[in-house]
C-alpha cells in the first residue's frame, strides 16, 4: 500500500460499493445538533446559509425601496421626513449592492463549485465558514445602527465632505465605514478561497479549457476582488481616520475631496462587474441545458468574461465625469467605457446563437434566462449611453442612471439568480420547484419589473434628479413616478411568489432524482441532495460536457464517473495542476470546528471597540483574534502538516 505517511499511491475502485460509501459517510458527515450547526465546514451547508441570508437582505432592501417608492408616487409628499428618506435610500443601496448582490452569488458558487469541478469541498473549508460568519456579522453590524436611526444617510457611495464629521456628526458614517471594512475581510477571504480552489482542486482531466462556465464567471469576479476590495477598505478606513483621528485625507484644501471618489470608484466599478459576471456564468452554464445543445463560443465567452473584468479596472472615472477633471483624460475613460461593451456583446450573441440553434425546453429556468438576455441588452445599452462623456453630462445623476443600475442589478443579477434557484434547488433539496407557480413567478416579476423600471429611463431623460425625497408638480414626472411605484409593487409580488414557491416546494415538491434536467455537468452525476462527500470516487473528465458525451453527435463517452480515485484515509481530496488538472497531491481536509466562528466574534469585537471608542474591547478583540489564528494554524497531524511520528 503506502511506503510512508508522506506519500501514497491512491487506489482506484468502483464508486457504487456500499461499504465504501458507508465509510466515506462516516468520515464526512459533520457533527449534528446546535454545535454542529455552528461548527460546520461543509460547503453545501455554508452555501445554503449564504443564499438564505442574502435573500433575507434582498427582502429587507426591497421593503425599504417600496416605502420610499410610496413617498415618490406623487409630488410633494411628506410621508417620510427628509432624514428618514435619506437613510432609507442609502441603506437600500448598501443592502442590495453589498449584502445581497455578491453574497448570493457567492452562496451559489460555494454550493455548486465543488460539485461541478468534481471535488469534495472548496480548498479551504474553515476559511469558507469564516467568510460566511464575517458576512453575517458585518450585515448585523451595519443594520444595528440603521435600526436605531443611525443608518448611513449619504448614499451607498458616501461622498465626502458630506460624510465627514463636520456635516455628519453622528455615528452613522462610522458604522458604515467600519462595517464595510469588516465585510471586506469576508469578501477577501472568499476570493482567496475561490481562486485557490479553481487552480488546485479541479478533478483530474478538467483542464483549463473544460472548466464550467459558472466557474469562469465566479473565478474572474473573485480574482478581481483580490485587487479591488483593498481600495474601498482603505477609503473607508481613511474616512474613519478623518472622522476619528483628525487626519486630512479628504478635507478640502488640506487633503483632496476627490481622493475619496478615486479610491471608491477604483473598487466600485470593478465591483459592478463582480456582481454580474458570476450570474452571467450561471446563465452560460444552464442555458445550454434548456436549449439542448452546448454553449456557442465557449472560449470566446470565457475570454470575454476575463476581458470584461480586466477592462473594468480601467473605466472608473466614468463615475466622475462631472467633477471637472481634464476632458482629455476623461475622453480615454469614455472611450474605454464604450469599448468594454464588446466583450459583453460576445456573451449576448453567444446566448442568442445558443437559443437559435437549440431546441427550447420551457422550464421556469429557461423563462428567466431567456428574459435575462433581453434585460441584459437593455441594461447594456443604457450603460453605453452614459459612457459617452458629453451625453453623460446630461444623464448622470438623473433617473436614467437609476434605470440603468436597476436593469443591471435586477436584470443581470436577480433574474439569473432566481432562474438558477429553479435549476439547482432540486440538487440541493432533492425536490423540484413547482413549474406552474414558476411561470406565474416569472411573468409577474418580468412585467412588474419592466413596468416599474422602464419608465425611469424616460423620467431621467425628462430631467428628474436622483436622490431627491420629493419633487414639485409640473415637472412632467408625476405619471411616470406613479407607474414606477405601481410596477415596483407588482414586481415585489412576483418576488413573493418566488419565496412561496421555495417554501411549498421544499415541503411538498416532487422528487427530483439525480438529474431531473438531463444536464451535462458533474453535479448531476451524484445524488440529490449529494452525500456529504459529494463523490464516492473522484471522476476523471474528458470534455466540457461530461454527461452528454456519446450523445452529442460526433462525441464518445470518455469521462469516467463510476470508478476513480478512492481517497478514504480520512477526509481527503485530490489536488491537481492549474492548467492540465493532472493529480499531484493528496490533500487532507479539516473537520468541523468552532474556530472560524470564534475568530469572527473576536474580529467583530475589535470593530465594535473601534466604533464605540472602547479601546479595551478593541485590544481584547485583537488579542482574541491572534490567539484564534494561532490555534487555527497549529500544525496538525491529521491535516498532514507535521512530521510523521517515527515508526517503532
Partner 1 sequence: MRPLRARYGLYAPAMAGLLFAGPAFAQAPLTYLTSNGPNADAIRPLTWALIAVSVIVCLIIGGLVLAGVFRRPGLALPEPGSPMEVGPEGGGLSWLWIGVGLSSVVLVASIVWTVAVLAHIARPPAKPDTHIEVTAHQWWWQVNYVADDPALDFETANEIHIPVGRPVAFKLIGGDVIHSFWVPQLAGKTDLIPGQTNEMWLEASKPGVYRGQCAEYCGIEHAHMAFVVVAQSPEDFARWRAHQLQAPPAPTGQAARGAEEFQMHCGGCHSVSGTQSGGDLGPNLSHLMQRRTLAAGMLPNDAAHLAQWISDPQNIKPGVNMQDPKLSRAELSDVLTYLVTLQ
Partner 2 sequence: MPERVQLQTRLPVGAADTRSLGWWAMIFVVFTEAALFAYLLFSYYYLAVVVPHTPGTFPLGGPLAVKLAGPNTAILLISSAFVAWAQTGIERGNKWRLVGGLGAGALLGTIFLVIQSFEWGNQKFDIPSSAYSSLYYVVTGFHMAHVLVGVLILMALTVWAAMGYFNRFRYAHIHIGALYWHFVDAVWIAIFFTFYLTPRLGLMS
The H or E element spanning position 575 is strand 572-576
Q: Which does 204 bind (CB under 5 to 8 A by kind): partner 1, partner 2, none?
A: none
Residues 196-225 close enough to bind partner 1 by CB under 8 A:
none
Neighbours of 616 (CB within 10 A): 8
Position 486 contacts partner 1 (CB under 8 A): no
Q: From the list 74, 159, 313, 440, which residue makes contact with partner 1 (rule: CB under 8 A)?
A: 159
Cα–Cα distances in Å, from 543 out to 210, 211, 283, 514, 531? 6, 9, 19, 20, 24
Residues 428-467 close enough to bind partner 1 by CB under 8 A:
435, 446-447, 450-451, 454-455, 458, 461-467
Residues 80-139 close enough to bind partner 1 by CB under 8 A:
81-83, 86
Q: Which does 468 bind (CB under 5 to 8 A by kind): partner 2, partner 1, none?
A: partner 1
Position 586 contacts partner 2 (CB under 8 A): yes
Residues 556-585 close enough to bind partner 1 by CB under 8 A:
none
In degrees, rounded to 5, the angle at the alpha carbon of residue 273 between the alpha carbons of residues 150 and 389 is 90
Say if residues 154 and 89 touch (Cβ distance below 8 Å): no
Please say which residue, 13 or 300, places its beta carbon nearer to partner 1: 300
Position 363 contacts partner 1 (CB under 8 A): yes
Residues 36-55 close enough to bind partner 1 by CB under 8 A:
none
Q: Which does 262 bind (CB under 5 to 8 A by kind): partner 2, partner 1, none?
A: partner 2
Say if residues 350 and 300 touch (Cβ distance below 8 Å): yes
Neighbours of 356 (CB within 10 A): 10
Position 579 contacts partner 2 (CB under 8 A): no
Quote the least distance from Cβ 642 to partner 2, whole Å. 5
Q: From the list 227, 362, 393, 499, which residue makes contact with partner 2 (rule: CB under 8 A)?
A: 227
Helix (H, G, I), strand (E, B) or coil at 566: strand
Residues 290-309 close enough to bind partner 1 by CB under 8 A:
291-294, 296-297, 300
Please say which residue, 9 or 472, places its beta carbon nearer to partner 2: 9
Nearest to 414 by CA among 387, 458, 379: 379
Q: From the list 565, 598, 599, 600, which residue makes contact with partner 2 (rule: CB under 8 A)?
A: 565
Q: What are 286's three cell numbers? A: 444552464
Position 477 contacts partner 1 (CB under 8 A): yes
Position 644 contacts partner 2 (CB under 8 A): yes
DSSP-assigned letters across all residues of 545-556: SGGGTTTSTT--
Q: Which does 338 bind (CB under 5 to 8 A by kind): partner 1, partner 2, none?
A: partner 1
Let me know if 212 is exposed, middle or buried by CB neighbors in 10 A (0-12, 13-18, 19+). Answer: buried
As a whole number of angstroms, the distance between CA 380 and CA 374 comes to: 10
Question: Euclidean distance between the first and final Cα of the chain, in Å?
Answer: 18
Q: From the list 51, 266, 315, 603, which residue makes contact with partner 2 (rule: CB under 8 A)?
A: 266
Quote the least distance from Cβ 206 to partner 1, whole Å. 16
Interacting residues of 553 by C-beta distance below 8 A, sequence separation 6+:
none
Position 200 contacts partner 2 (CB under 8 A): yes
Say if residues 472 and 77 touch (Cβ distance below 8 Å): no
Residues 385-404: x/- map of binding to partner 1 (CB under 8 A)? x--xxxxxxxxxxx------
Q: What are 72's three cell numbers? A: 415618490
Q: Which does 104 bind (CB under 5 to 8 A by kind): partner 1, partner 2, none?
A: none
Position 27 contacts partner 2 (CB under 8 A): no
The H or E element spanning position 12 is strand 11-14
Helix (H, G, I), strand (E, B) or coil at 477: coil
Position 613 contacts partner 2 (CB under 8 A): no
Say if residues 370 and 355 touch (Cβ distance below 8 Å): yes
Q: What are 633's three cell numbers? A: 494554524
Position 244 contacts partner 2 (CB under 8 A): no
Q: Which does 477 bind (CB under 5 to 8 A by kind): partner 2, partner 1, none?
A: partner 1
Q: Which does 334 bind (CB under 5 to 8 A by kind): partner 2, partner 1, none?
A: partner 1
Alpha-carbon 170 to chain mean position: 31
Q: Would you tell me the crossing angle of helices 327-339 and 341-357 to the nearest 10 degrees?
A: 10
As a whole number of angstroms, the distance between CA 155 and CA 261 comes to: 13
Q: Which does 642 bind (CB under 5 to 8 A by kind): partner 1, partner 2, none?
A: partner 2
Position 245 contacts partner 2 (CB under 8 A): yes
Q: From the list 11, 17, 56, 167, which residue makes contact with partner 1 (rule: CB under 8 A)?
A: 167
Q: From the list 234, 339, 461, 504, which residue makes contact with partner 2 (rule: CB under 8 A)?
A: 234
Interacting residues of 621 by C-beta distance below 8 A, sequence separation 6+:
602, 603, 604, 605, 606, 607, 608, 609
Q: From the list 38, 66, 144, 196, which residue makes contact with partner 2 (rule: CB under 8 A)?
A: 196
Q: What are 520's three cell numbers? A: 451535462
Please say which residue, 37 or 167, places its beta carbon nearer to partner 1: 167
Amino acid at each position: 500500500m503506502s511506503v510512508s505517511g508522506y506519500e501514497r499511491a491512491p487506489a482506484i475502485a468502483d464508486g457504487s460499493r456500499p461499504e465504501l460509501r458507508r465509510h466515506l459517510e462516516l468520515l464526512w458527515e459533520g457533527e449534528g445538533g446546535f454545535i454542529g450547526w455552528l461548527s460546520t465546514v461543509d460547503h453545501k451547508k455554508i452555501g445554503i446559509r449564504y443564499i438564505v441570508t442574502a435573500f433575507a437582505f434582498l427582502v429587507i432592501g426591497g421593503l425599504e425601496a417600496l416605502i420610499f417608492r410610496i413617498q415618490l408616487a406623487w409630488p410633494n409628499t411628506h410621508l417620510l421626513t427628509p432624514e428618514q428618506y435619506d437613510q432609507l435610500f442609502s441603506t437600500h443601496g448598501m443592502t442590495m449592492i453589498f449584502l445581497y448582490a455578491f453574497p448570493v452569488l457567492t452562496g451559489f458558487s460555494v454550493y455548486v463549485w465543488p460539485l461541478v469541478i468534481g471535488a469534495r469541498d472548496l480548498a479551504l473549508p474553515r476559511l469558507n465558514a469564516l467568510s460566511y460568519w464575517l458576512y453575517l456579522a458585518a450585515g448585523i453590524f451595519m443594520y444595528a445602527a440603521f435600526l436605531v436611526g443611525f443608518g448611513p444617510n449619504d448614499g451607498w457611495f458616501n461622498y465626502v465632505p458630506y460624510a465627514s464629521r463636520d456635516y455628519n456628526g453622528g455615528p452613522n458614517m462610522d458604522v458604515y465605514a467600519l462595517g464595510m471594512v469588516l465585510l471586506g475581510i469576508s469578501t477577501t477571504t472568499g476570493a482567496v478561497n475561490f481562486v485557490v480552489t479553481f487552480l488546485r482542486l479541479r478533478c483530474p482531466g478538467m483542464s483549463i479549457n473544460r472548466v464550467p462556465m459558472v466557474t469562469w464567471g465566479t473565478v474572474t469576479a473573485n480574482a478581481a476582488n483580490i485587487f479591488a476590495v483593498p481600495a474601498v477598505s482603505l477609503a473607508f478606513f481613511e474616512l474613519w481616520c478623518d472622522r476619528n483621528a483628525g487626519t486630512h485625507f479628504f478635507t478640502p484644501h488640506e487633503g483632496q475631496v476627490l481622493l475619496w471618489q478615486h479610491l471608491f470608484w477604483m473598487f466600485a466599478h470593478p465591483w459592478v462587474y463582480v456582481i454580474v459576471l458570476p450570474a452571467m456564468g450561471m446563465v452560460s452554464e444552464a442555458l445550454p441545458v434548456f436549449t439542448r445543445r452546448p454553449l456557442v463560443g465557449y472560449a470566446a465567452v470565457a475570454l470575454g468574461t476575463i476581458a470584461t473584468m480586466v477592462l473594468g479596472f480601467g473605466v472608473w472615472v466614468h463615475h466622475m465625469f462631472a467633477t471637472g477633471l481634464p476632458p482629455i483624460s476623461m475622453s480615454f475613460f469614455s472611450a474605454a467605457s464604450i469599448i468594454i461593451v464588446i466583450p459583453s456583446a460576445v456573451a449576448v450573441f453567444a446566448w442568442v446563437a445558443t437559443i437559435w440553434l437549440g431546441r427550447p425546453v420551457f422550464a421556469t429556468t429557461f423563462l428567466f434566462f431567456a428574459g435575462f438576455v433581453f434585460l441584459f441588452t437593455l441594461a447594456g445599452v443604457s450603460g453605453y449611453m452614459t459612457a459617452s462623456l458629453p451625453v453623460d453630462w446630461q444623464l448622470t445623476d438623473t433617473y436614467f442612471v437609476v434605470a440603468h443600475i436597476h436593469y443591471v442589478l435586477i436584470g443581470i443579477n436577480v433574474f439569473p439568480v432566481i432562474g438558477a434557484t429553479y435549476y439547482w434547488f432540486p440538487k440541493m433539496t432533492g425536490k423540484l420547484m413547482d413549474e406552474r407557480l414558476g411561470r406565474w413567478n416569472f411573468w409577474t416579476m418580468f412585467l412588474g419589473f419592466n413596468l416599474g423600471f422602464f419608465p425611469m429611463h424616460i423620467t431621467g431623460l425628462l430631467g428628474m434628479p436622483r436622490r431627491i425625497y420629493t419633487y414639485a408638480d409640473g415637472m412632467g414626472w408625476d405619471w411616470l413616478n406613479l407607474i414606477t411605484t405601481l410596477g415596483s409593487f407588482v414586481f415585489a409580488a412576483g418576488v413573493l411568489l418566488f419565496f412561496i414557491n421555495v417554501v411549498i416546494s421544499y415541503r411538498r415538491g416532487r422528487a427530483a432524482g439525480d438529474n431531473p434536467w438531463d444536464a451535462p455537468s458533474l453535479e448531476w452525476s451524484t445524488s440529490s441532495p449529494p452525500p456529504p462527500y459529494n463523490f464516492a470516487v473522484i471522476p476523471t473528465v474528458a470534455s466540457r460536457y461530461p454527461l452528454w458525451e456519446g450523445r452529442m453527435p460526433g462525441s464518445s463517452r470518455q469521462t469516467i464517473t463510476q470508478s476513480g480515485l478512492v481517497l478514504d484515509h480520512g477526509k481527503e481530496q485530490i489536488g491537481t495542476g492549474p492548467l492540465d488538472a493532472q493529480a499531484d497531491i493528496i490533500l487532507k481536509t479539516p473537520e468541523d470546528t468552532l474556530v472560524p466562528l470564534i475568530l469572527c466574534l473576536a474580529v467583530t469585537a475589535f470593530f465594535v471597540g473601534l466604533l464605540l471608542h472602547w479601546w479595551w474591547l478593541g485590544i481584547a478583540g485583537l488579542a482574541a483574534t491572534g490567539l484564534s489564528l494561532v490555534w487555527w494554524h497549529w500544525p496538525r497531524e491529521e491535516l498532514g502538516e507535521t512530521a510523521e511520528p517515527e515508526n517503532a
